[in-house]
Structure 1
Amino acid sequence: MKLLCVIDMQNDFIDGVLGSPEAQAIVPKVVEKINSMDNGIIILTKDTHYNDYLKTEEGKHLPIPHCIIGTDGWGLNLRVLAAVYRSRKRKNLTGLINKPTFGYTWSNEYFIEKFYNFNPSDITEVEIVGLDTDFCVLANAMTLKAAFPNIPITIDAACCAGSTPEWHEKALDILEHCHFNIINRKRERKE
């Protein structure tokens, strides 16, 4: 069974305070990826901060309030959310994780608690899409690898965007070096 992790496809990262044309461009591709899922598990994560964000460790390094719980920027992109709801008709299990930092501490217990009769050993492959490649995609890839060390994990580069195009590429280099499968990557040819 395939696990598709859709990381932080939230308004603030797409067209809000931390948005970018690259993030906006991946929305239809992420929707298409969700639409292609049948009989799998789709987990969405949401970067979740509170009004004291600027006092947090992250806020001290990135002093741009974003994804504050209850705001429009915290919300999931409506096209992505609609695709996830439609995916339930194709027998996909779906879940949502509000995470207070870059990565989530994935564990078998999460899947057992969320899906009751589900056996985490049924997961045979993991694919990751979303935002930002150089923060939350990278962090969740690493924690998923720790939770599922013997399962292939793929990152679809065409369904991810970084805080900048340069950081996106650097993060993909690191992920590839750490034995993640990177698909749909378009590299510029160096002459």
Structure 2
Amino acid sequence: DSEGWQIDSRVQQAMGDVLVIDKPTFGSCLLADHVAELAEQEELEITLCGLCTDICVVSNALLLKAHLPETKIRVAANCCAGVTPESHAAALKTMQMCQIEMVYTVQNAFGRKE
């Protein structure tokens, strides 16, 4: 066992008062359920980033899209990395085929115009 799965304390401190969901595996049904509850209260746009693109990011993106098919979901592709460059690219392609938008700048990731 390693602590590599934990959010670095400096990142957590910079995030401030946010909900952190510890997921038991690579995909989180709890996350999808929580976000679906939020979507009942207001229109959402979701941007994901993280490691590994080809394991956790793709799993959570597809779970969210399945729970919220009409919600705009983006992945900040240049803020992700896969196990290999090839598997990273394959995961991005998989998400694109499932109507998840890829963005490559911080401005685009958060819905701002460049």
Give the TM-score range, shorter chain.
0.7 to 0.9
Task: Report the Cα distance in structure 2 between the residues aligned to 1:149 and 1:112, rounded to whole angstroms.
Answer: 10
Identity %: 37
- Report the counterpart of residue 184 of structure 1 in structure 2: 104
Give the unaligned 5+ runs of structure 2.
106-114
Other structure's SS at 1:80 match? helix
Shift of 1:132: 0.5
* Residue of structure 2 aligned with 1:135, choices 52, 55, 60: 55
- Report the counterpart of residue 53 of structure 1 in structure 2: none
* Residue of structure 1 aligned with 2:11, choices 72, 80, 95: 80
Task: Report the Cα distance in structure 2 between the residues aligned to 1:161 and 1:99, rounded to whole angstroms.
Answer: 19
Count residues with an aligned counterpart. 103
Aligned residues: CA RMSD: 2.3
* Residue of structure 2 aligned with 1:173, choices 90, 93, 98: 93
Q: TM-score, normalised by structure 1?
A: 0.48
Task: Report the Cα distance in structure 2 between the residues aligned to 1:162 and 1:112, rounded to whole angstroms.
Answer: 27
| Segments ≥4 residues shifted beyond 3 Å | 118-121
Letter of the structure 2 residue corresponding to residue 75 of structure 1: Q
- Report the counterpart of residue 99 of structure 1 in structure 2: 23
Task: Report the Cα distance in structure 1 between the residues aligned to 2:5 and 2:70, rounded to whole angstroms.
Answer: 33
- Report the counterpart of residue 155 of structure 1 in structure 2: 75
Q: CA, structure 1 residues 142+77, in 2 after alignment: closer, same or farther (shift >3 Å)?
A: same
Task: Report the Cα distance in structure 2 between the residues aligned to 1:123 and 1:95, rounded to whole angstroms.
Answer: 18
State how 1:1-191 maps to structure 2 within 5 Å: 65-66=1-2, 72-85=3-16, 88=17, 94-105=18-29, 106-107=32-33, 110=34, 120-184=40-104
Shift of 1:119: 6.1
Deviations 1:165-185 (A, max 9, x none): 221111101111111100118
Q: TM-score, normalised by structure 2?
A: 0.77
Larger Cα-atom Rg: 1
Shift of 1:78: 2.8
